[in-house]
Amino acid sequence: MTMKKSDHNLQLGLGESIYDSSSEVSAQVAAGQHRAVVGSFWEELGDLQIKFLISQGLRPSHTLLDVGCGCLRLGVKAIPYLQRGNYFGIDNNASLLEAGMNVELQQIDLKEALPEERLFILPDFEFDKLEKKFDYLIAQSLFSHFTLNRIRRCLSRMIPLLHETSKIFATFLKCPLARTLKSLCVMTPVGLFLTAIRIHITIAFQILSLSHRGFL
């Protein structure tokens, strides 16, 4: 199986989350744990995303870019809804994309519905490789794993993908102002992570308004 890759080395040393460790992710995928890698509530969050996008105007004729698509939790819902070739996904882990294609889509007879050239490995948001503008873009449970600078880099590099009516949606963690950074973190064997389970947070879809003047 061949999927489009960026010209960058996949091992960028960004080290901001477990998803940046391709060896760790690959090991879990090989053990059949690809769904666990992308988080819990596979069916629930997949349904939530596609229903939300449709409520915001997504139609079968629209193009959709799934940023941080993983093993296609949204993809298995969006691909049969959209016209063939209108779903695109990017991730920084080839093993997750392969699990999405060869396990998740295969078991529901949708593998042939997704052209392989619609999946891209872009470890540092090299969106110029896509050479396309999109009607809808979504980043589910992505920014909650990033530093502010990495979020800014992702958004700024999205700009060439947008036309006048493009819509971008993302989940984020809303931290209570009274909480300290230390109280929001948990030490794990592979590093320090913000935890979305053990603290009181709000996770919500929000329209991110971008402009060339604001991000360039």
Any idea what the CATH number is for the domain that residue 163 is in? 3.40.50.150
For residue 45, pLDDT beyond 60: yes
73, part of any domain: yes
For residue 174, pLDDT beyond 60: yes
pTM of the model: 0.76
Q: For residue 103, which phi and psi values (nearest 5 degrees)? A: -115, -65
Cα torsion at 201, 202, 207, 212 (round to 10°)? -10
* Each residue's pLDDT tens digit, 154-173: 888 998 999 989 999 888 76
Q: E strands within the chain?
A: 4-5, 64-67, 87-91, 119-121, 134-139, 162-170, 173-174, 185-188, 191-194, 202-203, 206-207
Average pLDDT over residues 162-189: 67
Calpha distance 213→80 (Å, rounded): 37
5, part of any domain: no
162-170 and 87-91: which strand pairing?
unpaired
> How confident is the model at residue 198, as a pLDDT?
29
21, part of any domain: yes
185-188 and 191-194: which strand pairing?
antiparallel
> How confident is the model at residue 215, as a pLDDT?
41
139, part of any domain: yes
Q: What mean pLDDT, rounded, does the chain reach?
A: 78
Calpha distance 136→126 (Å, rounded): 18
Burial degree of 4 (CB within 10 A; 0-12, 13-18, 19+): middle
Domain count, the chain: 1
Residue whose structure tokens are 């009607």: 135
* Each residue's pLDDT tens digit, 102-131: 999 999 999 999 998 999 999 899 999 999
Instruction: Encode 87-103: b = buried (16+ Cβ within 10 Å), e = exposed.
Output: bbbbbbbbbbbbbbbeb
2, part of any domain: no
Percent of the chain surpassing pLDDT 90? 48
Asked if 203 and 142 count as a contact pair (C-beta separation under 8 A), the reply is no
Asked if 85 and 115 count as a contact pair (C-beta separation under 8 A), the reply is yes
154, part of any domain: yes
> How confident is the model at residue 135, as a pLDDT?
96
Find the domain containing 204 and state its range: 10-215
Calpha distance 143→31 (Å, rounded): 26
